[in-house]
């Protein structure tokens, strides 16, 4: 189905603007829209031909791609698309997408792709090329390769692939996130404190304390509002702080762990965190409270519930 990049060019006031999508959806939509809009096709190598044989249950040349556009295994169809969504996607596929390849409409595509690549580079640079998750990380890497296979951005992407891979008993696995170090360390520290065994495990708690202080995000990203991001100063990410994406749950647990550790002697667990940094953490946590009183996990609500009906 079409993933049109021009959707990023609609007025931001509209509830369907991708800037109002939840971060995981938005960050995956960006590179997918770029790749789709580019209509990029890589070189057909023996590896590509082998993958086609492996992935599809019929010869690649015999696949009806128009029919395949809406086909999905029953096990994977968790939330069937609505009738309105099917109508919109069909119109985009049959009428809008062909029209956008003609002059002067193709100028809209060129502008949209340029804007998307700017957003992709912003995400890469501010997440140290780890990304929000492995899906957008790999897709962003492909976009950088499409733009320039010899670019600095693509070269920075390559070594960060290993952050998501690990070897288990039955072969290589890929993680669904770069890690959950801050989350687990906060809960482990709280568990130790609740057992009143801090003295027995002082070296462990000292390391945990040091890690949590080092993992806090201490600055907001530059011009973050222009890239549909929210404040991050004072927050903790799910991992080690490197990708810069604040998570409300992790921030709350880290605050609790640090407050518990502050009750112990610095000679046991190390010096407590600076008060201002705790104030920043609370401010950041409160910024994720929505107008209806609910607390978001990664970003505040940005659009209306009726969008789901579409």
CA distance 295 to 248: 8
Q: Is 163 a catalytic residue?
A: no
DSSP state of 60: G
Distances (CA, A) of 99 to 27, 102, 108, 159: 26, 6, 11, 40
Tokens of 4: 């049109």
170, 249, 283, 292: the catalytic one is: 249
CA distance 226 to 33: 19
CB atoms within 10 A of CB 1: 14
Q: Is 131 left (phi over 0), alpha (psi -120 to 50) or beta?
A: left
Over its C-alpha atoms, the chain yields an Rg (Å, rounded) of 23
Q: Which helix (H) or strand (E) holds 288?
A: none
Catalytic residues: 249
């Amino acid at each position: 189905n079409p993933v049109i990049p021009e959707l990023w060019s609609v007025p931001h006031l509209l509830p369907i603007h991708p800037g109002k999508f939840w971060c995981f959806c938005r960050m995956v939509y960006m590179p997918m829209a770029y790749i789709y809009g580019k209509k990029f096709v890589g070189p057909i190598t023996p590896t590509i031909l082998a993958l086609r044989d492996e992935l599809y249950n019929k010869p690649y040349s015999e696949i009806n791609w128009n029919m395949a556009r809406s086909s999905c295994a029953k096990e994977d169809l968790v939330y069937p698309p609505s009738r309105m969504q099917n109508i919109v996607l069909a119109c985009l596929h049959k009428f809008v997408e062909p029209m956008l390849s003609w002059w002067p409409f193709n100028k809209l595509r060129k502008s949209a792709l340029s804007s998307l690549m700017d957003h992709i580079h912003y995400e890469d640079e501010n997440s140290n090329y780890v990304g929000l998750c492995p899906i957008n990380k790999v897709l962003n890497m492909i976009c950088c390769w499409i733009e320039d296979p010899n670019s600095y951005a693509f070269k920075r992407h390559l070594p960060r692939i290993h952050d998501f891979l690990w070897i288990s008993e039955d072969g290589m696995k890929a993680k669904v996130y770069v890690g959950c170090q801050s989350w687990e360390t906060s809960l482990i520290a709280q568990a130790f404190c609740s057992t009143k065994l801090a003295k027995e495990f002082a070296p462990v708690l000292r390391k945990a304390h040091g890690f949590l202080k080092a993992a806090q995000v201490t600055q907001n990203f530059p011009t973050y509002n222009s890239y549909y991001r929210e404040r991050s100063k004072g927050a903790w990410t799910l991992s080690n702080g490197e990708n810069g994406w604040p998570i409300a749950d992790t921030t709350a647990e880290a605050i609790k762990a640090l407050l518990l550790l502050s009750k112990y002697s610095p000679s046991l667990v190390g010096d407590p965190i600076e008060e201002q940094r705790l104030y920043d953490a609370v401010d950041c946590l409160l910024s994720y409270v929505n107008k209806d009183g609910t607390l978001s996990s990664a970003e505040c609500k940005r659009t209306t519930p009726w969008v789901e009906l579409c």
